[in-house]
Amino acid sequence: GDSVTQMEGPVTLSEEAFLTINCTYTATGYPSLFWYVQYPGEGLQLLLKATKADDKGSNKGFEATYRKETTSFHLEKGSVQVSDSAVYFCALRDLNTNAGKSTFGDGTTLTVKP
C-alpha cells in the first residue's frame, strides 16, 4: 500500500536558518503530494502541493519539488521565522486509492528560536 516517511523530529533552528524536512513516499499509482502545517491548537491546513512529476509547490517562502525518480517531496525554506514553529505533515493522495484517502507521514515538529 501507499506510505509516507518523514524525517524524524523534533527540529530546532535559529531564526533565519535554512530548513529542510525530508519526505519520501511509496505509491502504486501517480499520486498528488502535499505539505500540511499544524499550528498549536489548530487543525491541519494546506501549505503547498504538487500534482505531477517535476512540479514545484510554493507558499509563504516554503518550496517542495515532486521528484518521481527519487520518490521524494522535501520541504525547504531559506530563512525560517519564529512564526514558522509548527508541526509539518507530508501527505499523498492517489487517484487509484478508494475514496481518495490521504496517506500522512507522522509529522515533524519545528521549533524556531529567536
Single residue of 49, 66, 77, 112 touching other proteins by CB under 8 A? 49
Task: Report the length, in residues, of the chain.
Answer: 114
Q: Does 37 bind other proteins (CB under 8 A)?
A: no
Q: Does 94 bind other proteins (CB under 8 A)?
A: yes
> Given the complex with other proteins, which of 75 and 105 has the nearer CB atom?
105
Please, which residue, 71 or 109, has the CB nearer to other proteins?
Answer: 109
Short-list 112, 62, 54, CA closest to 90: 62
Compute the least distance from the CB of residue 69 to other proteins, in Å. Answer: 21
- Residue in this structure with the C-alpha cell 511509496, named with its chain if needed: 26
DSSP letter, residue 67: B
3-state helix, strand, coil in the chain (%, to 5): 5, 50, 45
Query: Residue from 19, 25, 105, 110 that binds other proteins (CB under 8 A)?
Result: 105
